[in-house]
Structure 1
Amino acid sequence: MIPENELVSVLQHPDRAGVYHLPQRSVEAITRAAHELDFPVLRVDLSDCADKGDFLARVAAGLEFPDWFGHNWDALADCLADMAWLPADGYVIILEHAEHFRIAAEADFITALETFDEAAREQAAEGIPLWIFVGLTANGIVHLRTL
C-alpha cells in the first residue's frame, strides 16, 4: 500500500485509477485522501452477498443510482460510465466484505470487476479518476491490483 501521505497525489491521477485490493487497515486513509480531494466515497457492504441480483441491488443503493437503473450488467456499465446524478471531479467506491460474493458467485464477481474496470478506463479518458477498492482476504486478491 502506498504511504498515506502520498494517497492524495495518487488518487488525482485518472490513468492510475481502476479496481484495486483494499487492505482493511487502509479504509480510513483512503477515505481521508478522497475527502481532501472532494471525491465522494461510496461504500457498499457486500457481507453475505451471494448472487448477481443481490450484488446489483446493493451497488445501486450504495452508489445512489437513479431510478432508471435496470439491475443488469449493461445498466451497471451505463451508470458507472456517466455518473451525472452525482457530479464530482473523481470517485472512490469501496466494496466492503466481498469475500462471500467472490466465493458464492465467482463468475459474477469477475464480471463485476471487469465492468468496474472498464468504467474506470472510460472515466479516465474523460479525465475523471474512478477508484474501486475491493475488500477481500488474501486468497481473493489474485483478481485485483494492489496500490
Structure 2
Amino acid sequence: MNAVDLRSILADAEHSGAYFIDERDAEVMAQAGAGLDYAVMRVDLAGCTDKAGLMERLAKAGGFPEWVGANWDALSDALRDLSWRPAPGYVLLVENASTWRAANLQEFDTLLEVFNEAAFEWAREDIAFWALLPFPGELLTSLED
C-alpha cells in the first residue's frame, strides 16, 4: 500500500479506532499521519511492565497536562479532550506493546476499550483518532482470536 492509500484510510474518521498493525508498517503509518498534519504521538512500551509505567508513557507522548490523573477514567477523558494538542486528526502509535500485553492481558483489553471510546467520540466531530499497535507479523494472527 502506498502513502496516498494510507492517507485516505487515516482520513476516514468513521473507521478510526484501535487496530493491530504489522510492526514493519509502523513508520509508514506515522509518516502518513504526519502527511495529513495529524498529531502523531509515539509511545514506546519497551521495558514497561505495569499500568503506572503505561500511564506515564502515554501522558508524556500525549503531552498531557499535569492535572490528568494516572487511571483509566483520566486517560479516557484526556484522549477524548486533547484541547492542549489541537490537530485535524490523531495517530497514537503504541510501539513494543507485546510484552506489556502478555503481562497485563485484562488491562490490555481495557486499554483497547479506552482507545476505541476516544475514536468514537472524535468521529462524532468528524476527526480521526487512530490508536495503532504494531506487533510482529507472526503474532498478528493470534491477536485476532
TM-score > 0.5, shorter chain as reference: yes
What is the match of residue 36 of structure 1? 35
Cα distance, 1:22 vs structure 2: 2.3
What is the match of residue 139 of structure 1? 139
* SS of residue paired to 2:131: strand
More strand, by proportion: 2
Cα distance, 1:141 vs structure 2: 5.6
* SS of residue paired to 1:44: strand
What is the match of residue 58 of structure 1? 57
**Alpha-carbon distance in 1 for matches of 2:2, 2:99:** 29
Aligned 8 A contact 2:22 2:134 in 1: yes
Which amino acid in structure 1 is aligned with residue 59 of structure 2?
Answer: A
What is the match of residue 6 of structure 1? 5
Aligned 8 A contact 1:39 1:91 in 2: yes
Aligned 8 A contact 1:8 1:36 in 2: yes
Cα distance, 1:140 vs structure 2: 5.5
TM-score when scaled to structure 2?
0.91
TM-score when scaled to structure 1?
0.90
After superposition, the CA RMSD in angstroms is 1.5
Structure-to-structure mapping, 1:64-103, within 5 angstroms: 64-103=63-102
**Alpha-carbon distance in 2 for matches of 1:114, 1:83:** 18
What is the match of residue 107 of structure 2? 108
Cα distance, 1:27 vs structure 2: 1.8
**Equivalent pairs, count:** 143
Cα distance, 1:139 vs structure 2: 3.0
Which amino acid in structure 2 is aligned with residue 130 of structure 1?
Answer: F
**Alpha-carbon distance in 2 for matches of 1:143, 1:84:** 33
Percent identity for Structure 1 against Structure 2: 38
Gaps of 5+ in 1: none
Cα distance, 1:87 vs structure 2: 0.3
**Alpha-carbon distance in 2 for matches of 1:143, 1:135:** 11
Aligned 8 A contact 1:40 1:88 in 2: yes
Aligned 8 A contact 1:76 1:115 in 2: yes
**Alpha-carbon distance in 1 for matches of 2:36, 2:112:** 24
* SS of residue paired to 1:85: coil
**Alpha-carbon distance in 1 for matches of 2:38, 2:108:** 25
Gaps of 5+ in 2: none
